[in-house]
C-alpha cells in the first residue's frame, strides 16, 4: 500500500506515480501512465487503468479520490458515481485519472489516440 504524507504541491510526475500506486493497491488492471505534455497544455499526465466490473471501477476511483483528498490533493472535477457507464474520469489538474471497464478501454483506445496525436503543446481538447 502506498504511503502518503501531506503532498499538496506534488510535482505532476510524482502525483501520477502516486495515483498509479493507489489504483494498484485496489487491484486495478493494466495501469498505464502517459506523459501527454508534448501533446496538449490541458494536463501533463494520464493514468489509465481497468476495473473488472462497475463496482470495481467505482472502488478504484473512490480509493484514489479519498486517499488523495485526505492528504490535501483535491480534484478539479470528479464525476458522480451513480449511474456511471463504465468510465470514470477524475481531473487532478496536471494529472487525469481514467478508470474504465475493459470494453470501454478497448473501444476508446486512449493510448493509441494520444500516442498518434502530433505534438502540439498548445492543443486544447
Per-domain residue ranges of the chain: 12-112
For domain 12-112, give the CATH superfamily. Answer: Beta Polymerase, domain 2 (3.30.460.10)
How would residue 3 be classed by pLDDT, with cut points 50, 70 and 90? very low
Q: Does the pLDDT value for residue 121 go beyond 80? A: no
Rounded Cα gap, residues 110 and 96, in angstroms: 12
Q: Could you give the count of Cα atoms lying within 13 Å of 114 in the half-sphere of its Cβ?
A: 24
The contacts of residue 47 (CB under 8 Å, 6+ apart) are: 16, 19, 20, 23, 31, 32, 33, 34, 95, 96, 97, 98
87-91/29-35 β-pairing: unpaired
Set of cell numbers at residue 48: 489509465
* pLDDT tens readout for residues 63-101: 999 999 998 998 887 665 555 789 999 999 999 999 999
Q: What is the pLDDT of residue 124?
A: 66
CB 22 within 8 A of CB 70: no
CA distance 79 to 34: 21
How open is the CA angle 28-18-33, to the nearest 5 degrees?
A: 65
CA–CA separation, 99 and 32 (whole Å): 11
d(CA 105, CA 28): 13
pTM beyond cutoff 0.75: yes
Amino acid at each position: 500500500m502506498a504511503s502518503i504524507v501531506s503532498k499538496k504541491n506534488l510535482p505532476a510526475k510524482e502525483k501520477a506515480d502516486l495515483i498509479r500506486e493507489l489504483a494498484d493497491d485496489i487491484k486495478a488492471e493494466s495501469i498505464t501512465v502517459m506523459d501527454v505534455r508534448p501533446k496538449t497544455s490541458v494536463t501533463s499526465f494520464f493514468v489509465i487503468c481497468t476495473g473488472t466490473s462497475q463496482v470495481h471501477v467505482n472502488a478504484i476511483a473512490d480509493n484514489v479520490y479519498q486517499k488523495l483528498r485526505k492528504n490535501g490533493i483535491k480534484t478539479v472535477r470528479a464525476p458522480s458515481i451513480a449511474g456511471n457507464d463504465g468510465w470514470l474520469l477524475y481531473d487532478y489538474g496536471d494529472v487525469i485519472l481514467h478508470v474504465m471497464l475493459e470494453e470501454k478501454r478497448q473501444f476508446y483506445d486512449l493510448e493509441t489516440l494520444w500516442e498518434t496525436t502530433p505534438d502540439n503543446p498548445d492543443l486544447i481538447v
